Amino acid sequence: MTDQITPELLLHAYAIGIFPMAESVTDPTVHWIDPRRRGVFPLDGFHISRSLQRAILRGGYRVTVNTDFAGVLAACADRPETWINDTLTALYVSLHRQGDAHSLEVWEGDDLIGGVYGVVLGAAFFGESMFSRRTNASKIALAWLVHRLRAGGFTLFDTQFLTPHLASLGAQEISRAAYHLRLQHALGRRAAFDPPGYAPYPSLISSSGASGSSTGSVTSGATKPESQDSTHRS
pLDDT at 230 over 70: no
- Give me the amino acid identity at 165: H
Residue 132's closest CA among 196, 55, 188?
A: 55
For residue 211, what are the CA distances in angstroms to 47, 55, 97?
A: 10, 19, 34
Q: Is the dihedral of CA 150, 151, 154, 155 positive or negative?
A: positive
Residue 200's closest CA among 101, 54, 65, 47?
A: 65
pLDDT of residue 223: 25
Determine the 3-state secondary structure of 65 from DSSP.
strand
pLDDT digits (tens, 9 = 90+) for 123-167: 999 999 999 999 999 999 999 999 999 999 999 999 999 999 899
Average pLDDT score over residue span 206-222:
43
pLDDT of residue 188: 97
Average pLDDT score over residue span 29-43:
95
pLDDT of residue 82: 87
Determine the 3-state secondary structure of 120 from DSSP.
strand
Cβ contacts of residue 48 below 8 Å, gap of 6+?
56, 143, 206, 208, 209
Please provide the size of the chain in residues.
234
Average pLDDT score over residue span 96-113:
98
d(CA 63, CA 202): 10
User: What is the model's pTM?
Assistant: 0.87
Cβ contacts of residue 144 below 8 Å, gap of 6+?
63, 104, 106, 200, 205
pLDDT at 224 over 60: no
Cβ contacts of residue 56 below 8 Å, gap of 6+?
48, 140, 143, 202, 205, 206
- Kindly report the CATH number that applies to the domain delimited by 2-208: 3.40.630.70
What percent of the chain shows pLDDT beyond 70? 88
pLDDT digits (tens, 9 = 90+) for 42-85: 999 899 999 999 999 999 999 999 999 999 999 999 988 888 99
